[in-house]
Structure 1
Amino acid sequence: MPARPRRTGVGVLIGAILGILAIASLFIGVSDVSPLALLTGGPDSSAAFLLVTSRIPRTVAVLLAGASLGIAGLIMQMLVRNRFVEPGTTGVTEFATLGMLISTVFWPGMAVVGKMAVAAVFGLLGTWVFLRVVRAVPVRQLVLVPLVGIMLGGIVGSVTVFFAYRLDLLQSLGQWSQGSFASVMQGRYEFVWIAGAMVVVAWFAADRFSVIGMGEDFATNLGLDYRRVVAVGMVIVALITASVLVTSGVIPFLGLVVPNVVSLIIGDNARRSIPWIAGLGAVFVIACDIIARLVRFPYEIPLSVIVGIIGAALFLWLLLRRRGRAH
């Protein structure tokens, strides 16, 4: 019985931290958008204009990206039945980036929604290829599955870099590869709401994802259409990856670390975990985004650098912890 109040307390703490960081994010930046400037300048001031067109969209985009990428990682882990996979360690992100490059080369005037659709299709293809590779090459050790995904992503990433170099598009590729919300503003972040909608879809299908996480035979014996649920999960992962990619670029390790941390706190029930993962993912990304803005103020470090450093450290801790428990 003491575990439930403790979990509730942790959930309240995550919500409180999220609210504090979200409010702080609105007032951090080079331009003066402080509460005093808003009160003295009125609704027509430059501070109010920047708050509406830049700071609020950026904060909302950060929160939605953090929440949705955590859910994408959870779904990938259930599809593969492995705790150490996420879109960035299965080649899905690299396939989506390749889709962005192809849309830029063949349809340079395409609208952002079209590029996101192409990236989503390639992300869906990447998820399917990874699942096929894992089924064809059965690996029994927990760590080998993400290594297979990393090798697959490395191959696709190398092909993408090669063609970007030959076509003089390395600068554009670098912008997609380095996650950052610095250019997010009103009119350029709305597609990340699609990722937020996918979080809602994942919550409604959470029980089905929990069942397929037990294996195909177990799900089939319970009367569940395994292939249909896997297809829904693949679509959710692809749309989240594509919408975040076109909005901010690649954000590594988030979908791997956050679901594992939540699993340590409340267990593996997907329906119960999804709100926690969404909240903790949002807290993690917005905290890293604030650090990225403050470390070399008034300059800004790419968010992917901060997330990569902290996420890699947490990944190593989770890896060593699992190995220690295995022995």
Structure 2
Amino acid sequence: MISLHVGVYDIYKDDGGMKMLFLTRIPRTIALLLTGAAMSISGLVMQTLTQNKMVEPTTTGTIEWASLGLLLVSVIFPAPTITMKIIACIVFSFVGTMIFFVLLSRIRLKSSMLVPIIGMMMSAVISAFVNFLALEFQASQIVSNWFVGSFSGIQKGRYEYLFLIIIMTFLIYLYANKLAVASLGKDIAKTLGVNYNRVVLIGTAFISLTVGIVAAVIGNLPFLDLIVPNLISLIRGDHLKENLPYVALAGMATITLCDILSRILIAPFEVPVSLILGTVGCIVFMMILLRERKRGTHGA
């Protein structure tokens, strides 16, 4: 309700206020709720599969791979449709996430902190390649606009693709127990009758579909999928299926609050919601790193 009533227009007094309500305010609020749930759940799934609290699409290069797909489809097709952008983001997100999982399976890690470091190294390489291509094809503005994740452009006719997230959330809930078993490792999963490779592949597809849809419609939303699963895990433990509803609701609340702040701080203008998420996410990420380091020190 607060989100619906925050903005330049007074929906009750200004001319066209009610039209603005149905054209932008309601679509924007629905997009906030769906995006918050989707990104938070995708972060939870990725953390479950890797058994690492510092892993999510922002720290594994998935977002950068999605930006590569978006850039390429924009270069090949001068005026790509939103459907074409979504497909490109999904495909490249899937490829990038699978490469990350393959790297993890082939590298012996002595510390959990090395996992996000590997992801960030890979994301830096992909980001540099994206910037090179953007400069080469004079498409820097496309990348710059995409990395400034914002809901200001959401209106009727643009956000409807996000409803696919509801289907993805339902499928993840049904598949949650197998994802949890796969997180125990390949040998244990095989002992329990679960095809590890297939589960990881399906889990990666869930993450890629979710991230791809959000990336194409909204843009880059850093650290949301890191903050929420970790906070819920601290409160409720690490049970994937039981935590899914709480993670979804907390994700909705977090991004809606950040978006309301983005509209209030310098009203009547807006701060990109990605700026607020990035600031809060960096702080939480540092706290998690320090906590993991402390736990590792005590363990040693």
What TM-score, normalized by structure 1, do the two folds share?
A: 0.88
For 1:160 and 1:312, how far apart are their aligned partners in 2?
23
User: How far does residue 77 in structure 1 lie from its aligned partner after superposition?
Assistant: 1.1
The match for 1:122 is 92
| Cα RMSD, aligned residues only | 1.2
The match for 1:144 is 114
User: How far does residue 138 in structure 1 lie from its aligned partner after superposition?
Assistant: 2.0
Asked whether 1:263 is paired with 2:233, we answer yes
The match for 1:76 is 46
User: How far does residue 152 in structure 1 lie from its aligned partner after superposition?
Assistant: 0.3
The match for 1:10 is none
Contact kept, 8 Å, 1:130 with 1:149, in 2: the verdict is yes
Aligned with 2:196 (options 226, 232, 255): 226
The match for 1:89 is 59
For 1:138 and 1:180, how far apart are their aligned partners in 2?
39
> Which aligned segments of 4 or more residues in structure 1 are displaced greater than 4 angstroms?
none
For 2:295 and 2:102, how far apart are their aligned partners in 1?
30
Structure 2 gap ranges (5+): none
The match for 1:26 is 4
User: How far does residue 324 in structure 1 lie from its aligned partner after superposition?
Assistant: 2.3
The match for 1:190 is 160
User: How far does residue 196 in structure 1 lie from its aligned partner after superposition?
Assistant: 3.0
Aligned with 1:290 (options 260, 274, 277): 260
Aligned with 2:127 (options 138, 157, 160): 157
The match for 2:172 is 202
For 2:108 and 2:157, how far apart are their aligned partners in 1?
45
Aligned with 2:224 (options 254, 260, 284): 254
For 1:175 and 1:284, how far apart are their aligned partners in 2?
23
Contact kept, 8 Å, 1:293 with 1:299, in 2: the verdict is yes
For 1:154 and 1:65, how far apart are their aligned partners in 2?
25
Contact kept, 8 Å, 1:194 with 1:239, in 2: the verdict is no
The match for 2:35 is 65
The match for 2:210 is 240
Q: Percent identity?
A: 36
Aligned with 1:175 (options 145, 169, 175): 145
For 2:66 and 2:148, how far apart are their aligned partners in 1?
14
**The residue matched to 2:151 in structure 1 has which SS?**
coil
Matches within 5 A, 1:37-48: 37=13, 46-48=16-18
AA in 2 matched with 1:27: H
For 1:224 and 1:187, how far apart are their aligned partners in 2?
41
Matches within 5 A, 1:43-58: 46-58=16-28
Contact kept, 8 Å, 2:82 with 2:217, in 1: the verdict is no
Contact kept, 8 Å, 1:90 with 1:149, in 2: the verdict is yes
Query: How many residue pairs are counted as aligned between the two chains?
Result: 297
AA in 1 matched with 2:9: S
For 1:314 and 1:197, how far apart are their aligned partners in 2?
30
The match for 2:288 is 318
Structure 1 gap ranges (5+): 1-22
For 1:177 and 1:114, how far apart are their aligned partners in 2?
18
User: How far does residue 47 in structure 1 lie from its aligned partner after superposition?
Assistant: 1.3
User: How far does residue 109 in structure 1 lie from its aligned partner after superposition?
Assistant: 3.1
Contact kept, 8 Å, 2:48 with 2:240, in 1: the verdict is no
User: How far does residue 50 in structure 1 lie from its aligned partner after superposition?
Assistant: 0.7
The match for 1:11 is none
Deviations 1:168-214 (A, max 9, x none): 11111111111100000000111122223211111111111111111
**The residue matched to 1:235 in structure 2 has which SS?**
helix
Structure scoring higher RCO (CA < 8 A, sep ≥ 6) equals: 2
Contact kept, 8 Å, 1:57 with 1:184, in 2: the verdict is yes
User: How far does residue 133 in structure 1 lie from its aligned partner after superposition?
Assistant: 1.2
**The residue matched to 1:219 in structure 2 has which SS?**
helix
Deviations 1:251-279 (A, max 9, x none): 01111121111111111111101001101
Deviations 1:263-310 (A, max 9, x none): 111111111010011011111111111111111011101111000001
For 2:212 and 2:172, how far apart are their aligned partners in 1?
16
User: How far does residue 325 in structure 1 lie from its aligned partner after superposition?
Assistant: 3.1
